[in-house]
Structure 1
Amino acid sequence: MLNDNGNIGFEVLFNHATLGILVTDPEGRIVLANPFLLKQFGYAHSELLGEKVEKLIPRRFAERHVQHRHNFSRHPHSRPMGIGFDLYAMRKDGTEFPVEISLGTNETKDGQYVVAFVSDISLRKESENALKELNAALEQKVAERTESLSEMVARLNAQMKEIEIKDKELRNALQKEKELNELKSRFVSMASHEFRTPLSTVLSSIFLISKYESTDEQPKREKHIQRIVSSVNMLTDILNDFLSVGKIEEGKIQVRLSEFNVENHVSAIVHEITELRKKKQDFDYQHTGDPMLYLDPGLLKHIILNLLSNAIKFSPEYAIIKIWTENRPGRFMIGVRDTGIGISKEDQQHLFERFFRGANVSEIQGTGLGLHIVSKYAELMNGEVTCESEENKGTTFIVSFKTEQPI
Structure 2
Amino acid sequence: MILESGPSGLVLVDGGARIVFVNEHAGELLGYARGELVGQPVECLVPDRFRDGHPDLRRVFDLSPRDRPMGTGRDLTARRKDGSEFSVEIALKPMVVDGRPYVLAELVDITERKRTEDRQRLLIGELNHRIQNLFAVIQSVALSSLSGERPLREARDVFIDRLQSLGRAYTLMTEQEWRGAPLRQILASETSAFSDRVTLDGVEVMVKQNAAQSFALLLHELTTNAVKYGALSAPEGSIAVRWSVERDLRPMSFVLSWQEDGGPTVAPPTRSGYGRKIIEDTMRRIGKHSIEYAPQGLKYRMEAPLEKVGWVVDESAM
The answer to whether the superposition gives a TM-score over 0.5 is no
Higher fraction of strand: 2
Higher fraction of helix: 1
- With structure 1 as the length reference, what TM-score do the two structures score? 0.35
Which structure has the bigger radius of gyration?
Answer: 1
- With structure 2 as the length reference, what TM-score do the two structures score? 0.45
